[in-house]
């Protein structure tokens, strides 16, 4: 019984930490990674997610791919002429530092036009990042309900509470 109560307290503490809006590592393409998709709209399904300043985008890919930062026009037209940067080493980690929209493509011929591109347009200010240099106060609030952080925190909350209840009952 005591171990169940200890676990319940630990679960509540862990859940509180998860709700602070801490930066997340977001694996682009999920477990499949950054690859040329069978469905050209695969990565556009990710564009509805909300991201936060401080989140880290993780691009895992094989040798025959790369990640390039482009403008919106470069993204729309799969134009590889004016790249902001290109990375050929996996994994590539990109930290979101501003609220500006981000556009990524694979420059291997045919890959971008087949859908290997992603636009990150729903970027929100981190609740743990001051909104201006003159504001030293850090306000910690739960992430918005549709953000990746909120969804992950909800999943962890349900898992921890379920385990705690099972330990108390058994």
CA distance 119 to 108: 18
Q: Are residues 88 and 150 in the same domain?
A: no
Query: φ and ψ at 161, to 5 degrees?
Result: -65, -40
Domain harbouring 122, CATH code = 2.60.40.420
User: Is position 62 within any domain?
Assistant: yes
User: Is position 153 within any domain?
Assistant: yes
User: Is position 88 within any domain?
Assistant: yes
User: Is position 66 within any domain?
Assistant: yes
Give residue 136's pLDDT band: very low, low, confident or very high (50, 70, 90).
Answer: very low
pLDDT over 80 (residue 140): no
Q: Are residues 11 and 31 in the same domain?
A: no
CA distance 121 to 30: 18
Q: Are residues 42 and 14 in the same domain?
A: no
Strand pairing category for 25-27 and 56-59: parallel
User: Is position 150 within any domain?
Assistant: yes
Residue environment code for 27-43, b if the CB has 16+ CB neighbours within 10 A, otherwise e: bbbeeebbbbbeeeebb
Q: Which of 162, 128, 100 is nearest to 20 (CA)?
A: 128
More confident residue, 80 or 145: 80
What is the model's pTM?
A: 0.63
Q: Which of 39, 32, 44, 105 is nearest to 71 (CA)?
A: 105
Lowest-confidence pick of 13-17, 19-23, 97-101, 108-112: 13-17
Q: Are residues 3 and 47 in the same domain?
A: no
Lowest-confidence pick of 49-58, 80-89, 92-101, 128-137: 128-137
User: Is position 101 within any domain?
Assistant: yes
Q: Are residues 81 and 103 in the same domain?
A: yes
Beta bridge partners, 93, equal: 58
User: Is position 157 within any domain?
Assistant: yes
More confident residue, 40 or 134: 40
User: Exposed, middle or buried: residue 149 (CB in 10 Å: 0-12, 13-18, 19+)?
Assistant: buried
Q: Are residues 96 and 163 in the same domain?
A: no
Which tens digits make up the pLDDT trace of 13-48? 343 334 345 678 999 988 899 999 998 888 887 767
Lowest-confidence pick of 9-13, 130-134, 146-150, 164-168: 9-13
| Residue numbers of the domain that contains 56 | 24-130
User: Is position 136 within any domain?
Assistant: no
């Amino acid at each position: 019984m005591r171990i169940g109560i200890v676990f319940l307290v630990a679960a509540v503490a862990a859940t509180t930490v998860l709700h602070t809006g801490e930066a997340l590592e977001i694996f682009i393409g999920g477990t499949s990674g950054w690859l040329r998709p069978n469905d050209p709209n695969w990565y556009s399904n990710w564009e509805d997610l909300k991201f936060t300043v401080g989140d880290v985008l993780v691009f895992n890919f094989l040798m025959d791919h790369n990640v390039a930062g482009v403008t919106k026009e470069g993204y729309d037209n799969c134009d590889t002429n004016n790249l902001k940067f290109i990375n050929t080493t996996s994994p590539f980690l990109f930290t979101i530092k501003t609220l500006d929209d981000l556009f990524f493509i694979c420059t291997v011929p045919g890959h971008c036009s087949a859908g290997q591109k992603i636009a990150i347009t729903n970027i929100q200010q981190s609740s743990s990042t001051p909104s201006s240099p003159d504001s030293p106060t850090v306000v910690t609030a739960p992430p918005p309900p549709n953000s990746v952080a909120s969804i992950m925190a909800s999943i962890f909350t349900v898992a921890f509470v379920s385990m705690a209840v099972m330990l108390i009952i058994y």
